[in-house]
């Protein structure tokens, strides 16, 4: 139901845009969140967006650098990542849930991850 894409290798200071495509049925009723997981670390919250209102939320670690947005016509949520740092290196996942939550357990549907590697 969710398909994440757009990861890759980028130098520090660079940008990437991740995409998360969802089926129309689930897209309109969900909150879509982005999470990331670095090797040996727990999955952590990055950002989220409410599909109906467009309200956005960010983790402090990415605020001002990342932007989450949606394209309702394409049933797609994006994560624009600017000023990337080596510590942003992780597998990034998109997830869908009924309510806004910063915990992975609050989301019931997950896409496969996409790897983002930021070189120094």
Residue 98 burial class via C-beta count within 10 angstroms: exposed 0-12, middle 13-18, buried 19 and up = exposed
Per-residue pLDDT of 21-60, as tens digits, reads: 987 665 555 799 999 999 999 999 999 999 889 999 999 9
Residue 89 has φ and ψ, to the nearest 5°, of -60, 125
Confidence of residue 12 (pLDDT cuts 50, 70, 90): very high
Mean pLDDT value across residues 69-76: 91
pLDDT score, position 111: 87
Please name the residues in contact with 20: beta carbons below 8 A apart, sequence gap of 6 or more.
2, 3, 4, 32, 34, 76, 77, 78, 79, 94, 111
Q: pLDDT confidence of 72, banded at 50, 70, 90?
A: confident
The pLDDT mean for the chain works out to 93
Task: Report the Cα 74 to chain-centroid distance in Å.
Answer: 16
């Amino acid at each position: 139901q969710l398909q994440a894409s757009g990861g890759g290798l980028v130098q520090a200071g660079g940008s990437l845009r991740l995409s998360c495509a969802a089926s129309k049925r689930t897209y309109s009723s969900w909150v879509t969140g982005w999470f990331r997981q670095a090797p040996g670390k727990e999955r952590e919250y990055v950002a989220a967006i409410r599909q109906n209102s467009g309200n956005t939320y960010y983790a402090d670690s990415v605020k001002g650098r990342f932007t989450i947005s949606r394209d309702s016509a394409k049933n797609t949520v994006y994560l624009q990542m600017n000023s990337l740092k080596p510590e942003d290196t992780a597998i990034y996942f998109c997830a869908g849930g009924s309510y806004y939550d910063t915990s992975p357990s609050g989301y019931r549907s997950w896409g496969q991850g996409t790897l983002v590697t930021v070189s120094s």
